[in-house]
Amino acid sequence: MAKLLIVEDEPAIAELIALHAQIAGHSAAVLHDGGGVMRQIDSDRPDMIILDVMLPGRDGFSLMADIAPTGVPVIFLTAKERLEDKVNGLRLGADDYIVKPFEAIELMTRIDAVLRRCRVTDGRFHVGGAEIWRNERRTFYNGQEIELTFREFGLLEALIRNKNLALSREKLLELVWGYNYLGETRTVDVHIQKLRKKLGLEEYIKTVYKYGYRLEVPR
């Protein structure tokens, strides 16, 4: 089961999507405008967002600039059918783009495909031989449970939330250690090396030269 956030200004369409999502075993929250999307992401941490483009408040394309860094997968669902709109949506970071009107079975199939691609199932994330139970804060490597410190798990979670995006050492310090941390960025390097060794992530946590790190997973 995954947690879906449906952002759609037409109540009938939003309710239809939510109904089919629940039939498929997912939970669904609904917003009818773009104003509260980021607050909802911060508070509820959805596994996927179904996002209309033409919304009251903030349109879907402008919202993608804020959503993309969170790492939450997005499927655009919109009446904007021009090729340039679709290309723009995908370039902004969406995982898929569906034009209205749509068949519910097609939407659910695409949702499942994106969830599989992003390895989102019950808050569990898979990369290489590692499995991370995000809700329970437990980690496994090749089936064996591995103990991580509080900071190691926080660093891993930051990388997962921003998978395939380069994060500076300074940004990782801010996300994991907090704004007031006065230590050196070398702390990040040390914790990264520990994560790589403990979970066999040498091929997945990439060093970005003179900048920071990126968790690289197949799209």
Instruction: Note the helical H segments in 24-163.
Output: 37-44, 60-67, 83-91, 104-118, 150-161
Quick one: pLDDT at residue 179?
59
Under DSSP, is residue 218 helix (H, G, I), strand (E, B) or coil?
coil
Q: Dig out the tokens for 174 from the structure.
A: 């801010």
- The count of domains in the chain is 2
Q: In terms of domains, do 105 and 163 share one?
A: no
- pTM for the whole structure: 0.56
> Hey, how many other C-beta atoms are within 10 angstroms of the C-beta on 3?
18
How much is the pLDDT for 180?
64
Mean pLDDT, the chain, rounded, equals 85
Q: Give per-residue pLDDT as tens, 112-139.
A: 888 877 655 556 788 999 999 877 889 9
The pLDDT assigned to 122 comes to 54
Identify the pLDDT of residue 181.
66
Burial class (CB in 10 A: 0-12, 13-18, 19+), 9: middle
Choosing from 70, 103, 118, the residue where a domain stops is 118
> What are the φ and ψ backbone dihedral angles of 133, each rounded to 5 degrees?
-95, 95
Which has the closest alpha carbon to 93: 67, 59, 117, 113?
Answer: 67
How far apart are alpha carbons 35 and 38 in whole angstroms? 8
Residue 189 amino acid letter: D
Are 24 and 113 members of one domain?
A: yes
Output the pLDDT for position 134. 79
Kindly state whether residues 114 and 128 are assigned to the same domain: no
Residue 173 is part of which domain span?
A: 124-215
Q: What is the pLDDT at residue 214?
A: 93
Average confidence (pLDDT) per 10 residues, the chain, 219 residues: 88 90 86 88 86 86 83 84 74 83 82 74 79 86 93 90 85 79 81 96 94 86
